[in-house]
């Protein structure tokens, strides 16, 4: 899932910077997931768009394509008003985020 050589390049091969960026993502994403979930429950397209955009950008920093694609699908389906399918894609997103979290924690440990 992670393109480690590219990520190392982005942080200038600096382990402490890598660990800091990973920790920032790990602290950031659960809040965005809660906002997305509330937006889905409330059929709030604008909030869904904003939170999805933020999460997608943060995940893209790690080339986490499965997360990027899942969150893009949630956002797109929300814009279309297909809230039932959004729920299915949201579940997929949470699974992909859990996998990304595991990979990032391991990557951070390797870096330190």
State pLDDT tens for residues 71-110: 999 999 999 999 999 999 999 999 999 999 999 999 999 9
Distance between CA atoms of residues 9 and 101, nearest Å: 20
- Helices (runs of H) and strands (runs of E) counted in the chain: 5, 0
Q: Would you give the end-to-end CA distance of the chain in angstroms?
A: 20
Listed by start position, the domains of the chain span 14-111
Pick among 1.20.81.30, 3.40.630.30, 1.20.120.160, 3.40.1440.60: CATH of 14-111: 1.20.120.160
Q: How far is CA 67 from the centre of its chain?
A: 5
Distance CA 75, CA 72 (A): 5
In angstroms, the CA 19 to CA 98 distance is 18
Per-residue pLDDT, 1: 72
């Amino acid at each position: 899932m992670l393109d480690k050589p590219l990520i190392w390049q982005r942080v200038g091969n600096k382990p402490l910077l890598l660990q800091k960026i990973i920790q920032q993502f790990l602290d950031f994403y659960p809040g965005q997931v809660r906002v997305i979930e509330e937006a889905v429950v409330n059929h709030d397209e604008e909030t869904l768009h904003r939170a999805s955009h933020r999460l997608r950008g943060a995940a893209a920093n790690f080339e986490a394509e499965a997360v990027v694609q899942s969150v893009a699908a949630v956002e797109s389906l929300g814009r279309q008003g297909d809230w039932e399918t959004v729920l299915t894609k949201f579940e997929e997103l949470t699974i992909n985020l859990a996998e990304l979290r595991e990979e990032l924690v391991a990557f951070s440990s390797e870096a330190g």
